[in-house]
Structure 1
Amino acid sequence: MATRKTGDDLTNVIFTVTRDIMAAEGYQAVTFARIARESGTSRTVLYRRWSSPFALMTEAIQAKAHEVQGTLVDADFNTGSLRGDLIAMLTRYKHSADIMGRTYNRAILGEVSKEDNQDVTTFLAQLKQSNLFIMERILSKAQLNGEINNTTTDLVKLMPFELLRYRFLISDEPITDDFIAEVVDEIVLPAIMQQQPHA
């Protein structure tokens, strides 16, 4: 008789099953009933831990991204220049988006259109705060290095992430190294420098 999985072992199985279902059949196939059946657990176990299939899917995808390359928030970008740090950060961000995949990212778009989806509202608020934290750390380092005198507005801090998300989710065009450099050189850096005090 097979031993029923518990704790971290069960969580890993649930995450793997969730990712496999989404990859094979899309977001709409990700249901608690299906995941419970294929994970060898009960829907009650899932409902106790996750408020919705979207919340479970988000945690499962993030766990995979963290396993592959760690968290973007914890990454230390130290290339020696503001430009280099921005390019390194956006390259890492692009890799995270690739790991999460278009199916998951487009599921977010679908959920955003639904009214009163607290899971998505919470996710987007957390995403915004983590993006701001990443940029503030990069800009603070640039201040210490004497490249800039001031940090900048939240609008400018969020701009690089929004541009890559649009490219990834809406335009369906590849995010290349040249595109990342263009975003930094033609949009983000000029916007940052525009908000510096002029002599």
Structure 2
Amino acid sequence: MTQTRRRGADLEQAVYQATREILNTEGLSQLTFAKVAAKAQTSKPVIYRHWETPFSLALLAIQDKIKADNHGQLDQVVLTGESLAADLLLVTQRFTASMDAFGKTFMESWFEGVSHDDSAQLKQMLAKVRKIDLNAIDRVLERAVTRGELTGTDLPEKLKLLPFEWLRYRMLAKESIGSAELRLLVDDILVPTYLHRLGPKN
């Protein structure tokens, strides 16, 4: 029986899944269109028509997994907290889940497989991630202003990005990130800092 040729979303998901499996088992440096095509049961010309380079395919495959595992981007998380701390905890929990979706194996092999030619695409991805992170914190700050916890949202970008950089460092350093670490980050670092900069005057 002739196998039905994959198209559209079905093809995309098969290719992304195959890409992630190769990244997980062999690393970014071993990712090729030929391997992806074979594992996804499609042809190399199909891969070449839809994706520019193995690196760009890897970026999209990882982003797809993060969105799927977390039901959207970080700045789309539904905020239901009744305080600044509660909303920040929701965002940091979601961010940690995103990092788990990326996976320690991917993280360990990622940078060793990045070539000079791929650096521009990596910078574009990091710029996009930075914007998503900032949007997520802006939403938290806006809700805190509405509740009267803060007087504004004009925080320096470095302070807005602090929780994500703190968490990324712990992952790269292979340190644990559990509920205790998230509580310390939120209750002892973020909330006091944000209140110091933007809190109501007593």
Map residues 6-155 of structure 1 onto 2, 5 A cutoff. Answer: 6-71=7-72, 72-110=74-112, 114=116, 117-151=119-153, 152-155=155-158
Aligned residues: 198
Structure 1 segments, 4+ long, off by >6 Å, are none
Closer, same or farther: CA 158–111 of 1 in aligned 2, 3 Å: farther
The unaligned stretches of length 5 or more in structure 2 are none
Are the aligned partners of 1:111 and 1:120 in contact in 2 as well (CA < 8 Å)?
A: no
Q: What is the distance in 2 between the residues matched to 1:113 and 1:165?
A: 22
Q: Which segment is superposed worse, 98-107 or 156-165?
A: 98-107
Q: Which segment is superposed worse, 20-29 or 126-135?
A: 20-29
Q: What is the distance in 1 between the residues matched to 2:103 and 2:168?
A: 12
Amino acid at match of 2:145: Q
Amino acid at match of 1:173: E
What do the CA deviations read for 1:77-126 (whole angstroms, capped 9, x no partner)?
12100001101110111111111102333445446784661210110000
Work out whether 1:167 is the aligned partner of 2:170.
yes
TM-score of the superposed pair, with normalisation by structure 2: 0.88
Closer, same or farther: CA 113–175 of 1 in aligned 2, 3 Å: farther
Closer, same or farther: CA 162–33 of 1 in aligned 2, 3 Å: same
Identity of aligned residues (%): 33
Q: What is the distance in 2 between the residues matched to 1:33 and 1:116?
A: 19
Are the aligned partners of 1:55 and 1:119 in contact in 2 as well (CA < 8 Å)?
A: yes
- Aligned-residue CA RMSD in angstroms? 2.0
Higher RCO, 1 or 2 (CA under 8 Å, sep at least 6)? 2
What do the CA deviations read for 1:118-171 (whole angstroms, capped 9, x no partner)?
2101100000000000000000000010000021111100000000000011x1
- TM superposition shift of 1:34: 1.0
- TM superposition shift of 1:54: 2.3
Are the aligned partners of 2:28 and 2:112 in contact in 1 as well (CA < 8 Å)?
A: no
Q: What is the distance in 2 between the residues matched to 1:136 and 1:178?
A: 24
Q: What is the distance in 2 between the residues matched to 1:148 and 1:98?
A: 31
- TM superposition shift of 1:181: 0.8
